[in-house]
Amino acid sequence: MKTLIKCWVKKQLRYSPYFYQKLKAVQQERELSVSELERLRNARFLKLLHRAYNRSSFYRDLYDQWGVNLRQIQTIEDIPKLPIITKPDLQAHKEKMFVGQKFNRVDAYTSGTSGPPLQVYRDYQSTIREGAYQWRQRISFGHYPGMKTVVLRGNLHRDQREKYDAATQSLYLSSYHLSEKNALWYYDKIRQFAPHAIYAYPSSIESLANIFQVLGKSVNIPLVFTSSETLYNHQRTKIEDIFDTRIVDWYGNAERTIALEEKTDGKYHELPLYSVNEYYDEYTVTTGLINFSLPLIRYRVDDIINLDENSTRNISGHRQIKAIQGRSDDILLLPDGSRIGMIWGVFDRIPNLFRAQVIQKEIETFQVNLVVGSEFKRQDETFLRDKITEFMGEQARYTISYVSDDQIIRAKSGKYKLIINELLRNKSNVPNLVTV
């Protein structure tokens, strides 16, 4: 009974009149001119900055130490005058950073993909605004609240296989029981439920595609919405083929300092009133504009994001994204010091390849772990080796190992990374590098 009441209260909060008010507001943002967007973004940024300085001892001490004069910060263009903060800063000082009301605080955690999970604080208003932006994206693709949805995002405990939420027409299926022996069960559940969309981690929906491929089955799902992990091109190709679907991706972080939405043109775009983003070669600096309870101003995110070549490099403006490479340690180091990122094309359309993961522990070599189907042939491996050589050159030294899917390294949340570079976690062991 308590669980039912909790779910009812959660739904009332998430889809209250206040939610629909914010949804309408973020939908209207698309109708604003560039100058009006910039005016609103400047106003929101300055409000956040002054709130942080006046209410947070962390920011007051930091800015005083750096000699920051807030009167000299007039627009977003002045943001480089402020110091960058990092995840260790947040971990050590989040209590001093929090300037909201405790009764309105929502606790959340990062996934811990590259280290221990980090606790962050949100408030009710930011949670609603985040949901409004996500629903704006879904609605633009024809998916509305109340439509049947399968959720495959690790929401259930390991001893649960399924849960149905009648209030939202959502069928939650376990992401921990995806295996060949359970393939028919998943197939029957999804086929009988006939959802309009699936919400999933990329790795979870890829696993579902793999077991359906083994079963020789396919299900038409109009839309698949992915988030919370890097969506690799080879995953997109496989998933769209198996489910005869369109994938729509959302990039964001638990700290709510950046969000990029995939639009109907297939490109990622910034959300001008969500955040201020600064893109650098090895990381991204973000300033969240939706969570005023935990202001994160010039917060470093270790993801490499490439702007479209037609986008300007300045901080302001509504810009298009060329590629999201993933975390800065998602690269391989070759013996000549070159750094190789975005290798997912190597694994695209390899017959009977279910999953791959590349692990590097030494500068001279790396290991390629493959999860394959029973029909994987020697010529498939040869094809893969040819693609690796074509992409990385003859200097690439590696070994291939065949593993089971439960031997693939994942975070506690179940999230998966294509490349795990243990060298870069201890950068003192890494020689001078040349970026390519």
> At a CB cut-off of 8 Å and minimum separation 6, what does 366 contact?
332, 358, 359, 360, 396, 397, 398
Res. 3: pLDDT tops 70: no
pLDDT of residue 338: 65
Mean pLDDT of 24-33: 93
Residue 330 or residue 403, greater confidence: 403
How many degrees, rounded to 5, is the angle at CA 418 between CA 345 and CA 156?
125
The CATH class given to the 332-435 domain equals: alpha beta
Would you say 138 and 225 are in contact if contact means Cβ atoms under 8 Å apart? yes
CA distances from 280 to 75, 114, 304, 316 (A): 21, 20, 7, 15
| pLDDT tens sequence across 323-362 | 887 665 567 777 766 667 667 778 888 888 988 899 988 8
Residue 266 or residue 342, greater confidence: 266
pTM of the predicted model, to two decimals?
0.81
Q: How confident is the model at residue 187 (pLDDT cuts 50, 70, 90)?
A: very high
pLDDT of residue 132: 96
| pLDDT tens sequence across 55-109 | 999 999 999 999 999 999 999 999 999 999 999 999 999 999 999 998 888 888 7
Most confident of the following: 115-119, 261-265, 316-320: 261-265
**CATH 3.30.300.30 domain residues, the chain:** 332-435
Res. 1: pLDDT tops 70: no
**CATH 3.40.50.12780 domain residues, the chain:** 2-130+254-263+266-327
pLDDT of residue 111: 61
CA distances from 36 to 43, 137, 206 (A): 11, 21, 41
Place of tokens 């300045």: 314
Reply yes or no on domain 2-130+254-263+266-327 having CATH 3.40.50.12780: yes
Q: Which range, of 11-15, 266-270, 347-351, averages the lowest pLDDT?
A: 11-15
Q: What is the mean pLDDT of the chain?
A: 86
